[in-house]
Copies of this chain bind each other. A is one copy, B any other.
Amino acid sequence: MKTIGVDLGGTNMKAALVDETGQVLQEISAPTNLPRPAEAVCDDIAALCLALSQDQQVAGIGVGCPGTVDGGVVRYSNNLAWHDFDMAGYLRQKLDLPVYLGNDANVAALGEALAGCAKGAESAVIITLGTGVGGGVVLDGKLLTGYTGAAAEPGHMVILGTSEAPLCTCGRRGCFESLASATALIRMTREARRTHPDSALNTLAPEENDVNGRTAFDAAAMGDTAGKAVVEQYTTYLAMGIANLINIFFPEVVGLSGGVANQGENLLQPLRAAVEPLVFGNEFAKKKTRITTCTLGYRAGVIGAAMLAQRGEA
């Protein structure tokens, strides 16, 4: 069975024809061209789907969309500036195919869970370490979306509930996102660069704006003390949030994606060591959660969206 997965972003929309194993058979993309009406954006999505479905038997369309999605309706998307738009209904009418809608981060998590780093696992928590901390939870092949239609938001779990903790974009202090996103890593690196003017952080990033999510890792690899301290502090917070999620879900796999995850084993090895003692009952557990990096890259979104349509889940 082939389905089409659509990954709608603020800049581009991507679509792919995907088989039942999660293999991408064909892909296509177009600019989102915001701002413009939701219907105009959907007309372009429909055109991409029509292009992909020519001479093909397509069973359905899945769409990953930024924002809060409830059934087939986009309740609210800050990126797209949509409110209560019946996206699935609109596309269904255009395409005469079943349409399934999900939050983009959730849908990408579904892709990783079913066809990527957690393929074959009974449960997975996927965490994206980018500008924010997003993610999704997949239990027995099914996305956890909740009653309110909001996606699982592991980034907005407070792990440092003090009045001095960094302010999160959501308005709370000490959220996992405010301590473990790439943005948080860059903030910590900048602070260390200022307070340690002789460190390699300053050689690698002569100007504050040169600091990126790799700077501290690169400095640490050179043996730089300040760089190592930043990586250690970041890893401590990341481990704290991941251990919390393990203690809540005890998933088979935790998969990390996003820029910071590109560090691979540089990140994973100390992270696993930091998480292990924080897992409740780890002394007696016969099975352990596997912590790894995601494998589908930018295609997680379209593959996950296509899988959503294959599962026939809203």
Q: How far is the CB of A235 from chain B (nearest CB, A)?
A: 13
- Is the C-beta of A229 less than 8 angstroms from some C-beta in chain B? no
Verify B250–A150 contact, CB threshold 8 A.
Answer: yes
A146 at interface, CB cutoff 8 A: yes
Smallest beta-carbon distance A276→chain B, Å: 12
B286:A75 contact, CB within 8 angstroms: yes
Per-residue CB contact flags for chain A residues 144-164 toward chain B (1 = under 8 Å, else 0) read 111111101110111111100
Asked if residues A147 and B251 are in contact (CB atoms below 8 Å), the reply is yes
> A146 near B123 (CB under 8 angstroms)?
yes
Q: A144's contact among B139, B149, B152, by CB below 8 Å, is which?
A: B139
A35 an interface residue at 8 Å Cβ cutoff? no
Contact partner of A278 (CB less than 8 A), chosen from B172, B277, B281, is B172
Contact residue range for chain A?
A: 35 or more
Stretch touching chain B among A13-21, A239-247, A304-312 = A239-247
| In the complex, chain A residues 109-150 whose Cβ is within 8 Å of any chain B Cβ | 121-123, 137, 139, 144-150
Query: In the complex, A68→B285 CA distance in Å?
Result: 9
The yes or no answer to A234 lying at the interface (CB within 8 A) is no
Closest to A76 in B: B284
A117 to B63, CA, bound (A): 35
| Cross-chain contact A159 with B159 (CB below 8 angstroms) | yes
Interface of A is mostly: loop
Q: Does A100 make an interface contact (CB < 8 A)?
A: no
Whether A248 lies near B153 (C-beta < 8 A) is yes
User: Once the chains are docked, how many angstroms separate the CA of A146 from the CA of B244?
Assistant: 14
Chain B hits for A248, CB < 8 A:
137, 152-154, 157, 245, 248
Question: For A281, what are the chain B residues with a Cβ–Cβ distance below 8 Å?
Answer: 68, 76, 148, 150, 153
Q: Evaluate contact between A285 and B148: CB separation under 8 angstroms.
A: yes
Most B Cβ at <10 Å: residue of A137, A158, A170, A288: A158
Find out whether the CB atom of B146 lies under 8 angstroms from the CB atom of A240.
no
Check if B280 sits within 8 Å of A147, measured CB to CB: no
Cβ of A36 < 8 Å from any Cβ of B?
no
In the assembly, what is the distance between CA of A247 and CA of B172, in Å?
12
Q: Determine the distance from Cα of A139 to Cα of B76 in the docked complex, in whole angstroms.
A: 24
Q: Say whether A298 faces chain B, with CB atoms less than 8 Å apart.
A: no
Binding site for B on A (CB under 8 A): 68, 70, 75-76, 121-123, 137, 139, 144-150, 152-154, 156-162, 170-172, 174, 237, 240, 243-245, 247-252, 277-278, 280-281, 284-289
The 6 A-B residue pairs with the shortest CB-CB distance, nearest first, are A146-B250, A147-B252, A76-B284, A157-B244, A156-B280, A156-B247
- Could you list 15 examples of A-B contacts with CB < 8 Å? A68-B285, A148-B285, A148-B289, A152-B247, A152-B248, A153-B247, A153-B280, A153-B281, A156-B280, A157-B247, A157-B248, A158-B244, A158-B278, A244-B244, A245-B248
